[in-house]
């Protein structure tokens, strides 16, 4: 497989560069012009969902046998990065499509895979991942949602919190306690149209406003035994095995946000005249822009390295350390870069005439979801010291 240098100097397979270029064009021409309105109205952009489906972008997380592109983790996260440069909320559609289907791809039965994955690869169905609860975020052991066997069904009761794609997903991967004494959790597929399933409410957020975040409520929801993902009582294996890989989506989103903010800051700096010259000619501004690009390039290199490791079969034992490092590095950098981008634009950076204030608000969540950066540091340290 021949490799070429991407526009940011990282070697990638040549066919990936062609696809990346196409996605970049779609993001620039179709998504970027919609970004401000998506943020302002805080509504899920159904037109962008259709756009991603029409261009087979939803197929990126999936193997060819299920109608996907079969191009793997690196290409998927390059696409997330390109879309996030234009709009982080739209990038989250692709991220959650992976998050909500990877449990099935990694641990689901053949029947579950055949039933759900092709319709997600085409974009016909959207998925969601329902793990967190109000009192069980990083501390999953505090989970209160329960599932009790009843004949050929399981009966699920509980409420989840902070769930992306709430209200627009066609099915949810729900984690529930099935043995309280042994602290055992099981993963289930719960279709959105099952009796007793509802969305209890939606969050009003700082950023990523085009992605609905809400609290799925399950009241005596019955699902058949065939909807169990993996083994009964082994749901934490499903959750951790999924998050080990999907945290790369948050890293890619953060890299995209940072690069988008840099691009806007440089473009503005070339036009803004101060003391008789563009502010990009001022050494103080040059140092600021240089540090922004250095941090983002380093984060991208670590992200791509972790993606390549995730694509190895078998995956290396220390994959989790690299995905955690990539997530921390990229998200912390995105916050630094977007703060500096606002500073470069000065007063214009603080108002929504320019997109950098939105990028600053969007960047913050990348340090929180897919496992907080504090938890990621624990993962890295444990791998180092075990």
Percentages (nearest 5) of helix, strand, coil residues in the chain? 55, 20, 25
DSSP state letters, 303-355: HHHHHHHHTSSSPPTTHHHHHHHHHHHHHHHHHHHHHHHHHHHGGGGGSTTST
Q: What is the distance between the alpha carbons of residues 160 and 14, in angstroms, rounded to a whole number? A: 42
Q: What is the DSSP letter of 194?
A: S
Residue indicated by tokens 């990126």: 60
Tokens encoding 245: 């890989």
- Spot the catalytic one: 81, 340, 357, 370: 370
Range list of β-strands (E), 11-126 = 11-13
- Sequence-distant (≥ 6) Cβ neighbours of residue 133 within 8 angstroms: 142, 143, 144, 145, 158, 159, 160, 161
> Is 133 tagged catalytic?
no
Contact status, residue 223 vs residue 194, Cβ threshold 8 Å: yes
Give catalytic residue positions: 370
């Amino acid at each position: 497989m021949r490799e070429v240098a991407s526009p940011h100097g990282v070697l990638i397979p040549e066919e990936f560069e062609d696809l990346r270029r196409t996605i970049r064009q779609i993001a620039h021409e179709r998504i970027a012009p919609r970004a401000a309105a998506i943020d302002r109205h805080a509504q899920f952009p159904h037109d962008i969902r259709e756009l991603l489906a029409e261009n087979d972008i939803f197929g990126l997380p999936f193997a060819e046998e299920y109608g996907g592109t079969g191009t793997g983790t690196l290409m998927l996260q390059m696409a997330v990065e390109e879309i996030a440069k234009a709009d982080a909320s739209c990038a989250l559609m692709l991220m959650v499509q992976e998050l909500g289907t990877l449990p099935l791809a990694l641990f689901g039965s053949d029947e579950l895979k055949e039933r759900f994955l092709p319709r997600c690869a085409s974009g016909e169905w959207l998925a969601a991942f329902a793990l967190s609860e109000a009192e069980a975020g990083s501390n999953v052991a505090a989970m209160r949602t329960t599932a009790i066997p009843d004949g050929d069904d399981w009966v699920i009761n509980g409420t989840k919190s902070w769930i992306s794609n709430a209200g627009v997903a066609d099915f949810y991967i729900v984690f529930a306690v099935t043995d309280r004494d042994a602290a055992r959790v099981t993963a289930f597929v719960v279709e959105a149209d099952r009796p007793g399933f509802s969305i209890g409410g939606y969050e009003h957020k700082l950023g990523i406003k085009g992605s609905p975040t809400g609290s799925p409520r399950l009241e005596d929801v019955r699902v058949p035994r065939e909807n169990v993902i993996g083994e009964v009582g082994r749901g934490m294996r499903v959750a951790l095995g999924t998050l080990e890989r999907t945290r790369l989506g948050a890293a890619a989103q953060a890299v995209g946000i940072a690069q988008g903010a840099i691009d806007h800051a440089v473009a503005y700096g070339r036009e803004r005249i101060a003391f008789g010259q563009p502010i990009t000619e001022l050494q103080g501004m040059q140092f600021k822009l240089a540090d922004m690009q250095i941090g983002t390039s380093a984060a991208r290199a670590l992200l791509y390295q972790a993606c390549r490791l995730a694509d190895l079969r078998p995956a290396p034992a220390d994959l989790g350390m690299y995905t955690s490092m990539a997530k921390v590095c990229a998200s912390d950098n995105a916050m630094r870069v977007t703060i500096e981008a606002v500073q470069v634009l000065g007063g214009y950076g603080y108002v929504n005439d320019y997109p950098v204030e939105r990028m600053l608000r969007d960047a913050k969540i990348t340090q929180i979801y897919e496992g907080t950066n504090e938890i990621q540091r624990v993962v890295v340290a444990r791998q180092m010291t075990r």
